[in-house]
Amino acid sequence: MVRLHVKLGDESQFLFDTTVNVPVDDLVKDLVVIYNGRLKVSRICSEMAELAEHGIILPPNMQGLADEQIEDLKLKNEWEAKCVPSGGSVFKKDEIGRRSGHAPNDSMKKVLQKTMEEAKALISKKLAEANVCVTIDMVKDALDQLRGAVMIVYPMGLPPHDPIRMEFENNEDLSGTQAGQMVIEEPDAQLWWAGKELLRNKKLADYVGKNEKTKIIVKIQKRGQGAPAREPAISEEEQKNMMMYYHRRQEALKKLEEDEDISYMNADWADSNSLKRQFQGVKNIKWRPA
């Protein structure tokens, strides 16, 4: 299997196993599914954290309004009575006025929090450091776990305008958001390796050869951004280790210079002319003024 270390810019994303015979077009599609799927899991977890703290989201026409304004406008959240969490709710006011404030009780809150941690672990960037590959099935499992937890806590479902429900139904509207800019649409996706774009009408073997036991760093990005920066000759970790080694080496040499003792040069046995003076009978001659 060929192991790909997928990056976005200089930031590590995930590892992916494939073969040299895979068409680049199929490879790009799979990588985009994983990349965008990981973003979806992160977005859902972010919203679920708010759901656990402050309950379901308010209708769009009530969001951001103070209680007095809602009362004056005679607005009513019709979904509040329909979307009641299992075991009842606990009131925790949402200071930004985005959610109802009727949060799940502690036991149901823990269900959401535990599931979020497990889902995040399935798509974490730390998996690359542990040399663990991410698959499409792992992303699907993470989404299924999140969906199941929401169904347990909210058996009647969430309002249709809730971003979590919209994410599960693939109806999310990310236009004009930072999250939307991070998504890479499959037709616009490009894959680069060694300063070259991997063209979709070719196979991976056309670029990396036929050796299946290969590991390469590829970069995924949107079309039109130009060639990404090439990887440095040595990694940041290797550079740190080299600097530490040279620093220790310099310290050791410095200590040797400080500890060097050349007093032995004054000893008789170190005198190269000692034997010559013995034969000439001029040993131990001392000079002093008359």
100 strand-pairing partners:
none
> What's the average model confidence in pLDDT over 160-185?
92
Residue 281 has pLDDT above 70, yes or no: no
Predicted local confidence at residue 68, as pLDDT: 84
Residue 250 has pLDDT above 90, yes or no: no
> Which is more confidently placed, 264 or 71?
71
Residue type, 206: D
> Which is more confidently placed, 255 or 197?
197
- pTM score: 0.78
> Which is more confidently placed, 104 or 244?
104
CA nearest to 120, candidates 42, 211, 225: 42
Predicted local confidence at residue 210, as pLDDT: 92
Q: Return left, alpha or beta for 97; rule: phi > 0 is left, psi -120 to 50 is alpha, else beta.
A: left
Predicted local confidence at residue 73, as pLDDT: 85
Local confidence band at 232 (pLDDT 50, 70, 90 cut-offs)? low
Residue 170 has pLDDT above 70, yes or no: yes
Residue 224 has pLDDT above 80, yes or no: yes
The 10 Å Cβ neighbour count of residue 22 is 15
Q: What is the pLDDT of residues 66-98, one digit of tens each?
A: 888 888 888 888 888 888 999 889 999 988 889
Local confidence band at 41 (pLDDT 50, 70, 90 cut-offs)? very high
Q: State the Cα–Cα distance between residues 178 and 184, nearest whole angstrom.
A: 12
Q: How many helices and strands in the chain, by DSSP H and E?
A: 10, 7
Predicted local confidence at residue 26, as pLDDT: 96
Residue 208 has pLDDT above 90, yes or no: yes
CA nearest to 216, candidates 187, 191, 182, 242: 191
Element housing 85 (H / E): none
Predicted local confidence at residue 269, as pLDDT: 59
Predicted local confidence at residue 49, as pLDDT: 95
